[in-house]
Amino acid sequence: MSPSKRSKKNAPFGKSTGFKLLGIGKQEAIKYFFGGNATLAVVLIFLIVGFLVFHAWNFLPQYKKSLTLYRLSGQEFTDYASDQLRAQKELSSLASQVPAYELKHRLGALYDLEAVHSNFKNKAQKKLLAERKELQRALSNLENTLAKQPPVQADVATAKARVAAATDALKTRSGDILGAIRYADLDNKSLVTDAKYLADIRASVSENIITGKTTGFIKDIRAIEAGETAKIRALPHLQQLEKAHQLLLAPQKPFAAYLEKYRLIASDNKGQAETPSTAAERKEAQLTKARLATTEQQRKIDLIKAERILTETPDYDRLNQALYDSLDAHLEVQQQLVEQTRIALAALPKASEFDGPKAGSRIEKINTLGEKFFGTVEAKRHNMESWSHQTPVGYGQALSGFFMGTEWVSNSSWQDFYGVLPLLAGSCLVALVAILLAVPFAVGGAIYVNRLSSPFEQRWIKPIIEFIGAIPSIVMAFLGVVVVGALIQEHTQNPLLSWIPSFPVEQDKTILTAGILLALMSIPTVFTLAEDALNNVPKAYKEAALALGSTDLQTVFRVIFPSCASGIIAAVLLGFGRIIGETMVVLLVMGGRIAIPDSISDPAHSMTGIMAQEIGEVEQGSLHWSALFMVGLLLFVIALTLNYAAQTILKKLSKHS
């Protein structure tokens, strides 16, 4: 007998309401209403999964179709060759960067002097608008007076006086303004400056603003710089580098010519392959339009348009024949590429010969990439030889193309790729950086506040940290864009920090920047949960430990901390889950470069960021759309797994105590 039935029939104080529908009384109806609302949570979870799957499930067939076209058209074949060239070009572009870094390092402030000069000029010019305009007017006035035939002497004198007055005014004012500009005001903080040039720069800028001509100072500097540069460039290791660089560049031309020729063919093939793929639908639509046309003339036009649509599939064997025939030509350019690169790499100077650390690190990178290069070339050549346009593309390939793909390219005129790996790597790396930074602070803070601090500190520190949790993520992202990014870039230039891997950071929007902000955002979550876990440790543990003669810290680290470790692990997992699902910070602060990052000082993109950035501009139901929902589904699964793991640990813990 259920309680509700009893209350209806036997309750002595029950009012007989008479309200009954399908055997459900008023009280039960109320209960079911509330129950229905509670069930919403379950329904919602299923709906979310359902919608993500519904929009994502079309991805596989669509991506398979797209990859099939990619293969049938021969684009895949030519892309193997472009991969070879790209790998080699990476070497040459690194080699071309080295001299600049070396020069910058050796020249120091001299190297950036012109940039500093123009930076100063920009700053001053804005504030001198009125004076500069007046000078311009005075000058054109003088010109006009002189142009009169014959010139009136009195007018000329006045005009000259006006010019002189304007020049004086500009000179005084620009002197004032420039005097107030310091190196610290520069927009680009990475410029190298030297105090000994400051006065000269100010004077020169002032002169330059008045006359509009290159000043003597700048000319001198240029001459000195040119002399120094020539000297540095003449150093044996830079000469050697230049030679190697030329060797790297030389074989690129014939290879690029080969590539261009066959890429054109492949892209033509693609055009021909795409045209009939939607032809049937288009023809149908056009015929419908003709049927519904209001005028006879319009109907005729529509019919002709319908008839013009090509429905036959092209002959792929014939289209791709040229590509198969090009294998010999490819071998030739490839051999050149490999030979010259080998010689160039052998001729490369040693990294230790370079003074600048950035130059040296790039030489090292060339060497490591160079070792991989030959393997890449061989593998790609092998791919090309065994390539056949008839090999069917399976679902497995589409699936691995998504999960293992290293490229995310959309809206390309060549071919779209939807590989989630760079996004996943970016998301995971930034979350890892953030959690590694956050955990010591959050857990350390929790231990301190919970076990070691005074009651006064307890009362104040907790609400303040909770307040950080209330800062909206977009505000954090904004601070990252405006303040934190530049701050990190500036302070990591410090040579004292150069022992940290991937320092100095060369950009303001990097994984590190986003990681620091995300760490700050996740500290409240981890802190609160860790503090809860510490709170739940029975008091007896502490008392027992202290009675046995251990100190406060021994109690905390040997007794209390181990007994609530799983709670803290759960806190960290929950924090990780929150970070990986965070959108705005990674969207605005991480730089948005879609590539697998090499280090934490690289810009990267993320799963959440790509969705936020792209889904607004994508046609509903397209391949791109479903790819983005696939990313959403993947993110959902990751977040749920982390959440579930954390909850399980917490549950076990609560059973334990």
Partner 1 sequence: MEKSTNPFYAKRNSQHTKETLVKLVLVIFTYSIILAALGIFGNIISNGAPVLWQKGWSFFTKKPQTLFVNQVEKSQGVEMPAKNFDGLLTNNPDAENWLGHVTPFDQTMEFVQFDLLAHSRIGNGYLSELESLNPDFRLPYTERDHHARVGFQLSSVKKISLAHDDYLTLRQADADTDSPLLPADVPKREIKLNNYRITIAAGEYPLSKAAHDALVPTPLVFKMRQTFADDEPDKINRTIIPREQTITIESNTYFAAFDEDERGTLPLKSEQEVPFLRIFHDMTLPAGNHTTTNTALAILENYGIQHLHNTATGAVVVNADVTGLTVPKAFWQQLTAANPGLKTARVSAVKQTTPYIRFDITKDTEIQLDTDDRESIASANAATGKFRTTGEETHSYSGGGVIGPIVGTGLLVIICMIVALSTGIAASIFLNEYAGGGSFVKTIRLAMLNLAGVPSIVFGLFGLGLFVILAPCVTSTPKASSTFMVPLVKLGSKPDLRTIEEQHILVAGQSDLGSDQLSTLAAVHSDKLIYDGWIWLSLQGWGTSLIAGGFTLAIMVLPVIITSCEESLRAVPMGFREASLALGASKWQSIRTAVLPYAFPGILTASVLGITRVAGETAPIMFTAAVAEKSELPWQGLKSTGFDAFLDFLQSSVQALPYHIYTVAGRIPQSEYTEPMQYGSVMVFMLIVMFFAAVSVWMRIRIRKKLKW
Closest separation in Å from C-beta 398 to partner 1: 21
Please identify which residue in the block is written with the tokens 């939807």.
418
Closest separation in Å from C-beta 27 to partner 1: 6
Spatial separation of the C-alpha atoms in residues 263 and 257, rounded to whole Å = 10
Closest separation in Å from C-beta 80 to partner 1: 23
* Cβ nearer to partner 1, comparing 240 with 613: 613
Spatial separation of the C-alpha atoms in residues 160 and 645, rounded to whole Å = 84
User: E strand or H helix at 180, and its extent?
Assistant: helix 153-180
* Cβ nearer to partner 1, comparing 285 with 347: 285
Closest separation in Å from C-beta 165 to partner 1: 14
The 3-state DSSP composition of the chain as helix, strand, coil percent (nearest 5) reads 80, 0, 20
* Cβ nearer to partner 1, comparing 292 with 379: 292
* Cβ nearer to partner 1, comparing 417 with 527: 527
Spatial separation of the C-alpha atoms in residues 520 and 439, rounded to whole Å = 10
Spatial separation of the C-alpha atoms in residues 337 and 318, rounded to whole Å = 30
Closest separation in Å from C-beta 440 to partner 1: 6
* Cβ nearer to partner 1, comparing 108 with 440: 440
C-beta separation of 330 from 81 below 8 A: yes
Closest separation in Å from C-beta 507 to partner 1: 15
* Cβ nearer to partner 1, comparing 80 with 120: 120
* Cβ nearer to partner 1, comparing 93 with 278: 278
Spatial separation of the C-alpha atoms in residues 407 and 63, rounded to whole Å = 14
What is the distance between the terminal CA atoms of the chain, rounded to a whole angstrom? 36
Q: Residue 530: how many CA atoms within 13 Å on its side-chain side? A: 30
Closest separation in Å from C-beta 154 to partner 1: 25
Q: In 275-315, which residue ranges form alpha helices assigned H by DSSP?
A: 279-292, 296-308
* Cβ nearer to partner 1, comparing 6 with 148: 6
* Cβ nearer to partner 1, comparing 388 with 413: 413
**Inter-helix orientation angle 357-386/75-107, to 10°:** 170
Spatial separation of the C-alpha atoms in residues 362 and 513, rounded to whole Å = 23
Strand locations in 508-573 (E): none
Closest separation in Å from C-beta 122 to partner 1: 11
Spatial separation of the C-alpha atoms in residues 525 and 466, rounded to whole Å = 8
* Cβ nearer to partner 1, comparing 107 with 546: 546
Closest separation in Å from C-beta 595 to partner 1: 20
Identify whether 12 is preceded by a cis peptide bond (ω within 30 of 0). no
Closest separation in Å from C-beta 133 to partner 1: 4
Q: Which two tokens stand for residue 388?
A: 């056949």
C-beta separation of 449 from 461 below 8 A: yes
Residue 124's alpha-carbon distances to 33, 112, 138, 209, 396, in angstroms, are 71, 18, 21, 9, 62
